[in-house]
Structure 1
Amino acid sequence: MTTKKNFYHEYEVFSKRSATSPFQHQFCLLAPNEDIALVMAQENFMRREPVEDIWVVKRENIRSLDPEEKRSLARLDNKDYRTAKGYGYLKKKWRQYEQKMLDEKEILSWGGDGKK
């Protein structure tokens, strides 16, 4: 018994509003080929809002990461200094440092010329 080939394929539709904007995923659709998928995407999307460009990609041609590759994205060590939250403590530390310096200057000013 031979398996029947699917007539329809899944396509993902991406568009961008202007020449400088990034492509964004809009929706997926079923179509027998790329040409009809493009026409369907234009009919369903481009008539509703202005579009600079449109991509129609067969879903099977989109590659995603497998579980092994996803694990490689995990951080190897603590790199909080690379995120904005990693610097949150600096304002408090700087204030403490400035206060300490002010206190030392103040203390030195109390000594006068060093004679009693």
Structure 2
Amino acid sequence: LYILVVGLQDREAHLPSELSGGEQQRVTIARALSNEPEILLLDEPTGDLDTKNTIEIMDLLLEINITHKTTCVMVTHNPDVECYADRILYVSDGHFVNQALNFEQSRLVYDDYIK
């Protein structure tokens, strides 16, 4: 079921070495969702991905948050993905230094992003 949620139904018979980095990330997310968690803890889920796959993964996480009511707690060094969050906590040297609320969650658009 969750392989459908992440859009990999046509790749389910493939070995991990036959999947792209973005596809491997989506498999990881599908595995995490199989337990139907209330909270997903994500450590740099887009760290090794190119811009296109970063946008795809972030769109997927936002959809999971909206449709499954799953809270996503994500650590990232990529400020470009802040637009997906509804609350942002900033950490420096292991301490919370600031927080921001984002009332206008949005998505990155690949064609706009690369201009």
Q: TM class, shorter-chain normalised? A: under 0.3
Larger Rg: 1
TM-score of the two chains, using structure 2 as the length reference: 0.22
